[in-house]
Amino acid sequence: MFNKKNIQNIPTEQTSHNSGSRKMLTTKEEVDSRCFEAFTYGFLPPKEKWVMHKHENIVEICLVVKGSGVIRNLKGETEKFESGDRFIFPSDIEHEIENLSEETAEFYFFRIQCI
């Protein structure tokens, strides 16, 4: 049958990136797929950043819902972001996300395991 949850009923937890929080909308345990990793909703406070990190063997797709800032890779290359932007982070590529706005930035993240 269906598995239904309301986002308001999903608890918020800290991220592993030294700042911000997230709601784990869907875990890999809830989906019968060997490729699906996670579907999350992230919150990044004003003037904070998710420090440089990578996802081993995982492609990450990011949709910016609210806020603006910059995304950097390990080479120092940057890309500005604002609401409505979509990014794809290839697996094993180090990146960081910095919120330059005065409001909490919000994102959807969809992670897919590489096989």
Residue type at position 7? I
What does pLDDT average to over the chain?
A: 94
- Cα of first residue to Cα of last residue in the chain, in angstroms, is 28
Q: In the numeric block, which tokens belong to residue 38?
A: 């996670």
Mean pLDDT of 27-47: 94
Chain segment 59-91, per-residue pLDDT in tens: 999 999 999 999 999 999 999 999 999 999 999
What is the rounded CA–CA span in Å between residue 19 and residue 44? 7
Per-residue pLDDT tens over the stretch 2-13:
889 999 999 999
Confidence of residue 17 (pLDDT cuts 50, 70, 90): confident
Q: Return all residues near 41 (Cβ < 8 A) that are at least 6 apart.
A: 7, 22, 23, 25, 65, 106, 107, 108, 109
Q: Write down all domains in the chain, each with its CATH number in brackets.
A: 14-113 (2.60.120.10)
Residues ≥6 apart with Cβ < 8 Å to 31? none
Q: What mean pLDDT is predicted for residues 36-49?
A: 96
